[in-house]
Amino acid sequence: MAIPEAHAHLTQSTILVTGGSGGLASRILQLFAERGSKHLHSLDLRPPSHPLPGVNYHTGDLTDTSTMQPLLKQIQPTVVIHTASPKFDSPNRALYKVNVEGTRTILQIARESGTQCFVYTSSASVISDAQTDLINAEETYPVLLEETQQPEYYVYTKALAESYVLSQNQRRGAKQFLTCAIRPSGIFGVGDLVVLPGILGAYFRGRTKWQIGENRNRFDFTENTNVAHAHYLAAAALLDQVYGLGHYDSPEDEEKTKIDGEAFFITNDEPRYFWDFTRLVWGFAGDTTRPEQVWVIPRSWALRLAGCLEWVFWGLRLGEPPLTRTKVRLSCMTRYFCIDKAKSRLGYRPVVGLEEGLQRAVEDCMGRRAAGDLKIA
């Protein structure tokens, strides 16, 4: 089934993006606006720092049914793009409340309000135990739904939420309610508050001459415009189905090309060795460290050091240490994904190259830091 190049029905539909004041959601709203969408709404706990023209902003707690029901009845969104989530290091209770309970609440209210399509922002990490290498991993890999399988509680809650969203897909009957999930890996870009600030923190602390592991592990990162593009394609494809624009030659063809009820890995399709990516970030920030100046710490030594630091910081109640065993494992893991499914079914191709997006994003981080809008140690 071919994906049409023009999506007139999408530009006329009412689109609601949850978490709309966040970096990714703002990029999604901006991209939809650039492509002609005329009825854009944002929902977040807080108002945006830089409102986008043409976007209707609403504040509210998506876990509060008494607030969400009248709001969605008023907006009557055709498409809901659900990106809202606390930070990955938030308390477990907050993560479960928003990512699991909040997702269930907003999905059910959206269905009741007449929403036809629901796109969930998941994570590529839902198939990862943060220890086992992932080499060209595909969507056929099982989602890890047991808390004991997921060392990061944030990822555990994202896995539960994704599973619920896909289970609610309803393609038959008078009232279609079509769902899918987008699984980005390592999101960075303009407005980034997590990936690049963390890497730049090491640069500003003068730690660019240290490296954990031998740098033989490739890793996938994704520029946020590409992630927004994937959400746009997913929403358009689901609406194509609602409006009857998709055509399948056979049930077998339908099963191989369907979008509803499916998850899609999204990357820049440019996996890089982990420390090559890190040093590219530092280089755009001004680092001049040469390869021969780098001290390589073996992974086994780094794990022992991180374990000691975790015990000391826990015992003295000093918060999170600068080096943890999870950080060591992630920096030494191979973790990249096959995006053939997104290419063939959504028509996805990255629209911003890795180095182009990275240079722009580092300049943005440096500018926000200089202006006092972004704290980087």
pLDDT in tens, 225-239: 999 999 999 999 999
Structural domain span for residue 10: 5-191+220-270+337-352
On whether residue 67 sits in a domain, the answer given is yes
Cβ-contact 74, 62 below 8 angstroms? no
| Helix/strand/coil (H/E/C) assignment for every residue in 112-123 | HCCCCEEEEECC
Average pLDDT for the chain: 92
CA 50, CA 29: separation in Å to the nearest integer? 12
Q: Does residue 74 have a pLDDT over 90?
A: yes
Q: Does residue 78 have a pLDDT over 70?
A: yes
Report the length, in residues, of the chain.
Answer: 377
Q: Does residue 89 have a pLDDT over 50?
A: yes
pTM of the predicted model as reported, rounded to 2 decimal places: 0.93
Neighbour-count burial of 85, counting CB atoms closer than 10 A to its CB (0-12 exposed, 13-18 middle, 19+ buried): buried
On whether residue 56 sits in a domain, the answer given is yes
On whether residue 180 sits in a domain, the answer given is yes
DSSP string for residues in 244-290: T----SSHHHHHHH--TTEEEEE--S--EEHHHHHHHHHHHHT----
Task: Name the residue among 198, 193, 144, 217 with its Cα closest to residue 324.
Answer: 198
On whether residue 16 sits in a domain, the answer given is yes
On whether residue 171 sits in a domain, the answer given is yes
Cβ-contact 12, 238 below 8 angstroms? no
Q: pLDDT band for position 253 (50/70/90)? A: low
pLDDT value for 244: 77
pLDDT value for 304: 95
Considering the candidates 38, 87, 158, 341, report the single residue annotated as catalytic. 158
One-letter amino acid at 243 equals Y
Q: Does residue 246 have a pLDDT over 80?
A: no
**Which tokens sit at 114?**
């007449």
Cβ-contact 165, 179 below 8 angstroms? yes
pLDDT value for 10: 87
CA 339, CA 266: separation in Å to the nearest integer? 6
On whether residue 159 sits in a domain, the answer given is yes
One-letter amino acid at 300 equals S
pLDDT value for 248: 58
pLDDT tens digits, residue range 113-168?
Answer: 999 999 999 999 999 998 899 999 999 999 999 999 988 899 999 999 999 999 99
Mean per-residue pLDDT for 351-367?
97
Mean per-residue pLDDT for 38-43?
95
Higher-scoring residue by pLDDT: 251, 167: 167
CA-only gyration radius of the chain, Å:
21
From 76-85, 317-326, 327-336, 358-367, the region with the lowest mean pLDDT: 317-326
**Which tokens sit at 152?**
């990061």
Q: pLDDT band for position 1 (50/70/90)? A: very low
**Which tokens sit at 111?**
């269905």
pLDDT value for 108: 97
The CATH number of the domain holding residue 129 is 3.40.50.720
Q: pLDDT band for position 101 (50/70/90)? A: very high
Distances (CA, A) of 344 to 74, 137, 251, 351: 36, 16, 17, 16
pLDDT value for 5: 45
Give me the percent of the chain exceeding a pLDDT of 70.
94
Higher-scoring residue by pLDDT: 232, 377: 232
Give me the percent of the chain exceeding a pLDDT of 90.
79
The H or E element spanning position 40 is: strand 39-44
**Angle at which helices 274-285 and 325-332 cross, to 10°:** 100
**Which tokens sit at 109?**
């209210």
Q: How many domains does the chain divide into?
A: 1
On whether residue 332 sits in a domain, the answer given is no
Mean per-residue pLDDT for 106-115?
96
Block residue for tokens 């926000």: 368
Q: Is the dihedral of CA 210, 304, 333, 265 positive or negative?
A: negative
CA 250, CA 253: separation in Å to the nearest integer? 5
pLDDT tens digits, residue range 165-199?
Answer: 999 999 877 689 999 999 999 999 999 988 999 99
Q: Return the DSSP state at 168.
A: T
- Active-site residue flag, 87: no
On whether residue 108 sits in a domain, the answer given is yes
Q: What angle do CA 192, 195, 201 make, to 5 degrees?
A: 100
**Angle at which helices 103-112 and 153-167 cross, to 10°:** 20
